[in-house]
Chain A
């Protein structure tokens, strides 16, 4: 396992009391696999991966549990040691490429900066490497792109530059936080293709966060569905899409428009909205919106161990 997360909790101190944004999340990422993390906004998918990166800088946040990268515990690791891993072995791509690059430096400078932060090479060699990377992420004219400023590039090109930067030190683990959300559909396809090809070529493991079921069904090897700070279902892609267990996952699937046959006049939506993390229901967090809830849902369902599991009482009932 390249990454093992056990019982991760992230709690924010707020004026209205503590908010548990992540509540006992455990998962593994194997070498070279693409793990899709799905959930609505506020389900905790971004926060959990920011915690893995050590990028939660809010002084009001406390992180509990264990995050192991190749056996090395990251929680409580000194900032300096964490910095050595970050950008070199674990890299991250962010959601909005429009704001993810420093506006006053060229693309080449920013990529070279990351390379030189981790490797002892000359500025010229770093620039040459940056050019190679830009070519690898399909920049039409990489040499020229080196001296471009972020504002001179389109959103898709900026995201490619961010990806080139993330790949600059050949990371073993790449965390992609909704990298296609802010882009056009056509550009999206190109970026997804790029992520897949990079995994194939470099063998990096990828954690891909998204709220787009379509993207996950295309890209991921394994999928993890999050709701209100917990994992509600996990499994291999084919299992999860072929036979969703949790009513929330099923509801998410129902909101994908069918490609064949008659389209419904309105796509089914999940009634209600995600619960406030300040006032989570006592039992199952999804119960208030669940179409199949029953008495047992007053208690909190646990996520059973194993590669394929769902945190729902109905599942046990249906599948003994």
Chain B
């Protein structure tokens, strides 16, 4: 078990190393582009250009440049954005992480709980109007673009109906730190959570329903019936457990991607300064150091989320251990 975890950690490091090399090569070794000019920004003076060139080691071979970059990101943390006039990149990323984590974790709890409920109910009452109704709702949730839904939510809760009893509790847009103001943190995030979760509730509910219905055709379900177990026990203990495997795979990928910046649209709509927003702004101004840092952090989250999924696999399915 411990060996398996250590091996997984080793794999994680290897994958992250691969990603960092790839991203580095794309931005810093593309032929015909001068990374120093990019980093220094438009209309930079020759002195600034020279300082950049020296600081990033562009006068030295590529491996040294790579090592310098990694040192700036992970060890000294003093990677500086020239486009944004001396803004330190690493603290900016560290500030954005709690925002994105709060948004995505809350939404994830919401979507996991609700989609399991919906999947179970739809599978238990398969082909009845309950099932059809839930699946239609799910499809509706999937088809609503998150930026549109977010704007509608804002329209309702921030302006149109803000003064009614329904939405008077909604604070203005923006993020409040959990440590400063737990209640404010929660209240500002409720609507973003719901907005982000709706899409995934639809997808996960449908995926789980399909997996449950497939599992209910298995031979071991017939055995469970022959044992005299109740239908609810068969569904919850025998079918759900095996169906969660597909669910967890999907969850690992989506959660990692969202934490790594895919929640951009939600962040923009609700004025949250998260990783997605940071990456987006960096891409707009071609802020290479910032892009490098956010991509590295994003990949770290994707890799960690997948490693956690692998651990959960071992808990869910004993067959994985020996394989």
Contacts and interface: CB of A to CB of B under 8 A. Distances in A.
Contacts of A55: 222, 225-226
A152 B319 CA distance: 9
A88 interface: yes
Interface of B: 218-220, 222-231, 233, 237-238, 241-242, 316-319, 322
A112 to B, nearest CB: 11
Given A151-B319, A151-B322, A152-B322, A101 B220 contact: yes
Contacts of B229: 83, 87, 113-114, 117
A86 B98 CA distance: 54
A113 B242 contact: no
Interface string A85-106: 1111001101010011111110
Contacts of A105: 241
Contacts of B233: 117
Contacts of B318: 103-104, 149, 151
Nearest to A102: B220
Given A99-B219, A103-B242, A104-B242, A149 B319 contact: yes
Contact of A86 (B219, B228, B316): B228
User: Which label, helix, strand, loop or mixed, suits the secondary structure of the A interface?
Assistant: mixed
Nearest to B223: A100
B223 to A, nearest CB: 5
Q: Residue among B220, B230, B241 with the most chain A CB within 10 A?
A: B220
A48 to B, nearest CB: 15
Nearest to B220: A102
Interface residues of A, number: 31
A104 B241 contact: yes
Q: Residue among A55, A92, A103 with the most chain B CB within 10 A?
A: A103
B126 to A, nearest CB: 10
Q: Give 5 closest A-B pairs by Cβ, nearest first.
A: A87-B228, A99-B219, A86-B228, A87-B227, A114-B227
Nearest to B127: A59
A83 B227 CA distance: 8
Nearest to B239: A102
Interface in A67-92: 79, 83-88, 91-92
Contacts of B220: 99-103
Given A86-B228, A102-B220, A118-B228, 6 more contacts: A102-B238, A103-B317, A104-B317, A105-B241, A113-B229, A149-B318
A70 to B, nearest CB: 17
A35 interface: no
Nearest to A55: B225
Contacts of B242: 102-104
A84 B228 CA distance: 6
Contact of A100 (B219, B231, B319): B219
Given A99-B220, A104-B317, A57 B228 contact: no
B319 A96 contact: no
Contacts of A114: 227-229
Contacts of B223: 94, 100-102, 162, 165
A53 interface: yes
Contacts of B225: 55, 57, 86
A118 B227 CA distance: 9
Contact of A53 (B219, B224, B226, B316): B226
14 contacts: A53-B226, A57-B225, A83-B229, A86-B228, A100-B223, A101-B223, A104-B317, A114-B229, A117-B228, A117-B229, A149-B318, A151-B319, A165-B227, A166-B226
A94 B229 CA distance: 16
B228 A104 contact: no
Nearest to B233: A117
A91 B228 CA distance: 9
A88 B229 CA distance: 11
A99 B242 CA distance: 13
Contacts of B316: 104
B213 to A, nearest CB: 13
Given A104-B316, A104-B317, A87 B219 contact: no
Contacts of B224: 102
Nearest to A93: B226
Nearest to B228: A87
Interface string A155-166: 000000010011
B228 A85 contact: yes
A87 B226 contact: yes
